Amino acid sequence: MGGAVPVGKGGQSSPEGDLETGGAGDIKAARLPRLLFSLLLALVVLAPLPQGGREPWSAFLLVACVGALLVIGSAGALAGAMRGSDDPFLGTSGLGTRELRLPFALFLGVCAWAVVQWMPWTPSALHHPLWSDAGRVLGEALTGRISVNPEQTLASLLRLLAYGGVFVLALGLGRDAARARRGLQVFVYAGFAYALYGLMAFFSGSELTLWFGERMNTTAVTSTFENRNSYATLAGMGLIAAIALFLDGLGRALRARVPAQTKLRFTLQQVLGPGAPLLVAVLVLATALLLTASRGGALSTLFGLLVLAGAFLRAGAFSIRQVSLLVGFIVLTGTLVFALSGERLANRLGRLDPALESRGAVYRVMLRAIGDAPLVGTGYGSFPDVFPHYRDASITHTARWQKAHNTYLENALELGVPAAAALCTAIAACARICWLGIRRRRRHRLYPMVGVAVTALVAAHAWVDFSLQIPAVSISYAFVLGIACAQSFPSRPEGPNPADGP
């Protein structure tokens, strides 16, 4: 499928295969990680279906499913450790725990702080003043908290824990190279299916999003999402992964030490054979992304693709001449796709809508609000409740702002600056692990490359939108980043070999 390389080639054996050669207990142990990974894949694939998981019921269902997978996985890991299993998930194999201690500690610290914000037993000096104001209006003493909306703080915390759970599951299960490749391939082809559905709904003029209700925007491709910008982030991640898989297969053909004529034949066979489905996926995903007309989504994806190109150069996967040819081909193809599908995006890039003009005023108001509670915040998930109290005449757009369209500022307002910085640092530390993995791995460097590139995409888009606050987007990102980090640690204590493929 799509240029996949048989596992076990070159003397490398699959941990799952090793387990199956043992007794009945080992065979049962091998089935658990395969089943668990299949269930995790199903969760990631189905998460975008109910409008990106943004509705309370679908978000709760996602949280419950991740919790169930974590319970099953923890039981399996404990049983595997007791048996001394060699499986990277079931056994006691290290996962670079020293480097992961920092992001894990920071993430758990942020979760613990959200619990403190929710608790009613904190010192009254830390409570938000809205509680005392509401008490005076009602004529009774209210139990104050740091969070303005404790219910939303708890709901936001559960979603954050679910994202962390997906990362942990992908990290443990993705240590096996066969699972990692399967996971990335399924992610790409699921993205292709969502893009194809989005294009069909767009060109047919359908006003429904499957059976979940009416489409809010019929002038752009939104697939199963309500917001085109959120879908653009998911399409961009799928596009990056598809291009990376395609270039991985192409690079193997280009690096073959054969005469030029034979190499050309190998390359054409790769493009027209195993690489053809991926090339189709790339074109469909790129078309869907352009037809979202999302300025932030398109530009952030372009930034992610540039980072992916830098990652391939860092890995030494292609020569400078080959990179030049590939860049020329990609630019030519991208220009053709943009000419056919990018008119709406070009029009939106050339003008400013009223909501976009108000963003600067919104950000200034948010900075003032952050300054009132810079350390403790107003409660995770409390932006819709807090922002109206700070909104002033400088914001001319009449819409109600449910999101800040800047995840960094929104996190700083809700969590406080220290906790928001800790959350960003945790993600950046994982991206650094991937960046280091590009050089220290001898094989399978494709995955850390994708991890760095999709992190660049979501980090850039988070400056101007709220895609990471949509459960399906965050779950997809956590899954890809988990696999990327799992494949960033060397399987053997050997240095990098630039001659090897990604």
Confidence (pLDDT) at 82: 52
pLDDT of 463 reads 93
In a 13 Å sphere around the CA of 201, the CA atoms on its Cβ side amount to 27
Q: Are 240 and 453 in contact (CB under 8 A)?
A: yes
Instruction: Report the C-alpha gap between 404 and 362 in whole angstroms.
Output: 7
Residues 6+ apart with CB under 8 A from 11: none
Give the closest residue to 176 by CA, choosing from 67, 277, 270, 89: 89
Please state the separation of Cα 213 from the chain's center in Å: 26
| Helix, coil or strand: residue 84 | coil
Q: What is the SS3 string spanning 170-201? A: HHHHCCCHHHHHHHHHHHHHHHHHHHHHHHHH
Task: Please give the C-alpha separations between residue 434 and each of 26, 105, 170, 451, 487, in angstroms, as whole numbers.
Answer: 32, 18, 14, 6, 8
- Dist CA 491 CA 502 (whole Å): 14
Structure tokens at 298: 């398109």
The pLDDT assigned to 130 comes to 87
The phi, psi pair for 405, rounded to 5°, reads 60, 25
DSSP-assigned states of every residue in 393-442: TT----S--SS-S-HHHHHHHHH-HHHHHHHHHHHHHHHHHHHHHHHH-S
Question: How many CA atoms does the CB half-sphere of 258 hold within 13 Å?
Answer: 12
Q: Residue 214 forms beta bridges with which residues?
A: 208
pTM of the model: 0.86
Question: How far lies 293's CA from each of 15, 71, 217, 239, 347, in Å?
Answer: 44, 41, 11, 16, 9
* Integer Rg of the chain from CA: 24
How far is it, in rounded angstroms, from Cα 183 to Cα 160?
22
Q: Collapsing DSSP states into helix, strand and coil, what is residue 290?
A: helix
Under a CB-based contact definition with an 8 Å cutoff, are residues 2 and 278 in contact? Answer: yes
Contact, 227 vs 180, CB < 8 A? Answer: no
SS3 328: helix
pLDDT in tens, the chain (502 residues): 444 434 443 344 444 444 444 445 555 556 888 899 999 999 999 999 888 888 888 899 999 999 999 998 887 776 665 555 555 554 434 455 688 999 999 999 999 999 999 999 899 889 988 888 888 888 777 888 999 999 999 999 999 999 999 999 999 999 888 999 999 999 999 999 999 999 998 888 877 666 666 666 678 899 999 888 999 999 999 999 999 999 888 777 666 666 767 767 777 777 787 889 999 999 999 999 999 988 889 999 999 998 998 888 887 766 666 666 667 767 777 777 767 666 666 666 666 565 666 778 888 999 999 999 999 999 999 999 999 888 887 887 666 778 888 999 999 999 999 999 999 999 999 999 999 999 887 778 899 999 999 999 999 999 988 999 999 999 999 999 999 999 998 765 444 444 345 6
- Within 8 A by CB and 6+ apart from 405, the residues are 359, 362, 464, 465, 466
Give the chain's largest Cα–Cα span.
88
Say if residues 238 and 285 touch (Cβ distance below 8 Å).
yes
